[in-house]
Structure 1
């Protein structure tokens, strides 16, 4: 088979770590300073599955409301999507905003695989989110959201430490690849 290109859009509220996740996956880097994405940021990365070279174009899309009108154009031609929220203390509202991002992706992209990434997992106690169902970001509450919105998969990630970042992106790439066979 020849070269394959997949466009993957990464969306979510501002400052949840979308850019950091993409940078960690594509370059293995993490930068602590926060710089707001203007419109969209593009990254390329190459994966190989079953001897097929896959050229990934990752669109890191700005989460600020000012970009809402432009975002619809950014979704055109997407093969897969990632919705990112933050597990960090004080950023739990990004979980409730996740519904908006999911609906926006589905209405603009149709039936593409969409994965959910709960980022900044390094800032919370994994046992607490596993056991404490009163937390909005608890495993039980996230499991309900996964079922409700039909996410292909859910990954707890850390752009800082790299935890599950590569696995999460590769899982989406494999899902897209297998769907296109």
Structure 2
């Protein structure tokens, strides 16, 4: 599990419809870069990220799960041992944005079915492509009330807006939870 010197190792699953920016968000957070062209994730891929908190070394594996329906049969195996999840949808005012928002509940139900009561954060991605003044938080507020999300963040993998803060919410929650357990 943990390599020598690692105090904590966490698996965080990142889910949502295809083309909402899951891979781009992970790359922005872990490597600081953004790739313009869309490359579909096949099955799953993972990225490693290290962080030191209070002199404890934390290793995180972000599992980027393909959102296309053709990969639905693989997802339960990829969810195994996840201690947290990030659900991503697109804030765009097009079909992708509308459909991906409608599917947030499906993703929430699926991850909780296979992983139980784990911390889940919701990312509304591609905020750089919409007029924030026109974004209504009414629908999202109702959804957050209905489901037990740890938090909700408007993010942009392209500009970096909200990305660090959103990922840090998960990291701090996991550290706090598992630090208490290991003490």
- TM-score, normalization by structure 1: 0.93
Q: How does 1:91-106 map to 2 (within 5 A)?
A: 91-106=97-112
Cross-structure match for 2:144: 146
Which of 21, 35, 45 lines up with 1:17 in the alignment?
Answer: 21
1:2 deviates by: 5.0
1:93 deviates by: 1.4
Count residues with an aligned counterpart.
Answer: 173
How far apart, in 2, do the equivalents of 1:143 and 1:176 lie?
24
- TM-score, normalization by structure 2: 0.92
SS at match of 2:41: coil
1:3 deviates by: 2.0
1:122 deviates by: 0.5
How far apart, in 2, do the equivalents of 1:43 and 1:88 lie?
26
1:37 and 2:35 are equivalent in the alignment: no
Query: Contact 2:6/2:59 (CA < 8 Å) preserved in 1?
Result: no
1:59 and 2:51 are equivalent in the alignment: no
Question: Unaligned 5+ residue runs, structure 2?
Answer: none
How far apart, in 2, do the equivalents of 1:45 and 1:63 lie?
22
Question: Unaligned 5+ residue runs, structure 1?
Answer: 130-137
1:47 deviates by: 1.2
How far apart, in 1, do the equivalents of 2:100 and 2:82 lie?
23
SS at match of 1:92: helix
How far apart, in 2, do the equivalents of 1:92 and 1:160 lie?
20
Deviations 1:73-128 (A, max 9, x none): 00111111000000012022110011110101100111110000000001111111
How far apart, in 2, do the equivalents of 1:34 and 1:42 lie?
17
Deviations 1:114-156 (A, max 9, x none): 0000000011111111xxxxxxxx2111011011111010000
